[in-house]
Chain A
Amino acid sequence: MGNRSETSPATAALTLRNVTKRFDGASGQVTALEDITLDVREGEFLAIVGPSGCGKSTLLSLLAGLEHTNEGAIKLGDQPVEAPGRDRLVMFQQDALFPWLNVLENVLFGLRLKPDLTEAERLESARYYLNLVGLGNKEKARPHELSGGMRQRVALARSLAPNPRVLLMDEPFSALDALTREQLYGDLQEIFTKRKKTIVLVTHNIREAVCLGDRVVLFSPNPGRVQQVFDVNLPRPRRMNDPALANLASEVTAALSARLAQ
């Protein structure tokens, strides 16, 4: 397992250099991330795992431009990341569906912000992704009429539909049943390979990380740091019950619990 988190800037979609992020909370200052140096390559699927509170969501917010670093620099290509933009879409940990829009309109929201599409193309794309997550028959429903898992699937469709260059996903599958989840793993891998996206996925599920990621980055808490980077050199599409995958997953788990035991 080489620690090859740095690559040449030409092939890197996102670069983080010595990034530190602190919060002034009610219980004093918290260092959510300390001295993070990490590259996400163009067209890479990067999975991030780590215990609760180690700064995974914070990292995504920084990459999205929703928060600013205290120290260090983040770049998208050769542009510094300063503000949110359509090229870096986030799927949040809590589904952020708009209650005043129905399911279809929610998925159309991001698509309507793309001026180069016709309305017919937007509708087609929205329906395609809703069908993909198995909610083609719920177009007209309002978010509050759906179950938690359904809402998360709509949120997934909403973040996939605009086809952003970089997709930042914060535990997108946590509220799903095993069957739907497995199916979406397949779909996401297919979209990833076909559309040549760069994806950063945060998850608590190490198997999921190994199944989806080209690399798995393990974070350690207090303060949030990169503990170890694992390369996953398994052919796609990968299946969750692949034994090679299980081996790698237990390796990551071992590294995680070794750290927690300290």
Chain B
Amino acid sequence: MASKLPRPVIPTLVALFILGGWEWFVRSGRVSEVLFPAPSHVLQWFWDSLLSGELLAATWVTMRRLIIGFAIGAALGVPLGALCARVRWVRDTLGVLALGLQTLPSVCWVPLALLWFGIREEAVLFVVVMGTLWAVVLAVQESVLNVPPLYLRAAQTMGSNGWHLWSRVIFPAALPGVLSGMKQGWAFAWRSLMAAEIFVVIVTGFGLGSLLNAGRELLRMDQVMGVMAVVMIVGLLADLIFFSPIESWLRRSRGLER
């Protein structure tokens, strides 16, 4: 009979069971409500901060930083990645540098950003850009290098070269790889932004990370957990409504669907 149930039923039941257990555990007085709030407390915080506008304001500040930083990182990363693929010595220098810097957790950029830009919006943006850039550079480089030579040869004998070849053949062929690089860049940007917001209280805007940190300072664990949930949901939504549909459309239209 279980196979007849719609697919989301079981996960929902499991989630409800866990949340219910958690609620009961906290209410039974076995742990301090201050350190370990129940789901209902978190929900209460969520509702209150939604009504007061605090949550939306912080989400907006964070999203704006994320989108601007990601856009800068991607806009720089695509041409740089293409250059790495095209020019050998750029690949041997910038490409290798990108490989190294990509392994550097972006929170490591925070001290440098603060020294260079001061406690300003630019410092946060810089960290986000550093988080995005290298993943995008590497993805673009890889996917351009992996464009089947046959496509290039076919296009060339039809008279395509230079910019036409890049825009009509190389980029379209590399697009699936570039897109997954962007997706990875977005994930890195999101992580680095949270780190920057927690470490740096920027006077120009109070984002989700700042809200999280404020919750710690005020010993408001309901706020801490609530913000964590929001951060998670925002990340999921970006994937669900932006990256996944584009990616699956791209794969389907080229017959790459598994």
- Report which A residues bind B (CB closer than 8 A): 61, 64, 66, 83-86, 88-90, 92, 94, 96, 98-101, 109-110, 113-114, 142-145, 158, 162, 168
Annotate B137-181 by CB proximity to A: 1 below 8 A, 0 otherwise.
000000000000011011111111100100011001101000000
Instruction: Report Cα–Cα, A20/B77, bound state, in Å.
Output: 43
Smallest beta-carbon distance A97→chain B, Å:
8
Smallest beta-carbon distance A114→chain B, Å:
8
B234-258 interface (Cβ within 8 A of A) = 253-255
Instruction: Report Cα–Cα, A100/B172, bound state, in Å.
Output: 7
**A90-B153, A90-B154 are known contacts. Are A100 and B254 too (CB-CB below 8 A)?**
yes
Contact of B255 among A66, A86, A96, A145 (CB under 8 A): A145
Q: Is the CB of B153 within 8 A of A96?
A: yes
| Residues of chain B with a CB closer than 8 A to A64's CB | 153, 157
| Residues of chain B with a CB closer than 8 A to A94's CB | 150
Smallest beta-carbon distance A153→chain B, Å:
16
Q: Is the CB of A142 within 8 A of B156?
A: no
| Residues of chain A with a CB closer than 8 A to B151's CB | 96, 98
**A66-B153, A98-B169, A142-B254 are known contacts. Are A110 and B158 too (CB-CB below 8 A)?**
yes
Query: 6 additional contacts, CB 8 Å, given A98-B172, A100-B253?
Result: A86-B159, A94-B150, A98-B173, A99-B255, A101-B172, A113-B164
Q: Which residue of A lies closest to B175 (CB)?
A: A100
- Report which B residues bind A (CB closer than 8 A): 150-151, 153-161, 164, 168-169, 172-173, 175, 253-255
Q: Which residue of B lies closest to A86 (CB)?
A: B159
Smallest beta-carbon distance B249→chain A, Å:
12
Contact of B154 among A92, A100, A143, A145 (CB under 8 A): A92
Q: Is the CB of B153 within 8 A of A109?
A: no
| Residues of chain A with a CB closer than 8 A to B158's CB | 86, 89, 109-110, 113, 158, 162
Q: Which residue of B lies closest to A109 (CB)?
A: B158
Q: Which residue of B lies closest to A162 (CB)?
A: B158
| Residues of chain B with a CB closer than 8 A to A83's CB | 156
Which 7 A-B pairs rank lowest in CB-CB distance, beginning with the nearest? A144-B255, A86-B159, A96-B154, A110-B158, A84-B156, A113-B159, A99-B254
Q: Which residue of A lies closest to B255 (CB)?
A: A144
| Residues of chain B with a CB closer than 8 A to A144's CB | 254-255
Smallest beta-carbon distance B102→chain A, Å:
28
**A96-B151, A98-B172, A100-B172 are known contacts. Are A84 and B157 too (CB-CB below 8 A)?**
yes
| Residues of chain A with a CB closer than 8 A to B164's CB | 113
Smallest beta-carbon distance B168→chain A, Å:
8
Q: 8 A–B contact pairs at CB < 8 A?
A: A66-B156, A84-B153, A86-B158, A90-B157, A98-B169, A109-B155, A113-B159, A142-B254
| Residues of chain A with a CB closer than 8 A to B156's CB | 66, 83-84
| Residues of chain B with a CB closer than 8 A to A85's CB | 157, 159
| Residues of chain B with a CB closer than 8 A to A158's CB | 158
Instruction: Report Cα–Cα, A260/B173, bound state, in Å.
Output: 42
Instruction: Report Cα–Cα, A162/B173, bound state, in Å.
Output: 22
**A98-B151, A98-B169, A145-B255 are known contacts. Are A66 and B175 too (CB-CB below 8 A)?**
no
Smallest beta-carbon distance B171→chain A, Å:
10
Instruction: Report Cα–Cα, A83/B154, bound state, in Å.
Output: 13
Contact of A89 among B157, B169, B172, B175 (CB under 8 A): B157
Q: Which residue of B lies closest to A87 (CB)?
A: B159
Instruction: Report Cα–Cα, A130/B134, bound state, in Å.
Output: 44
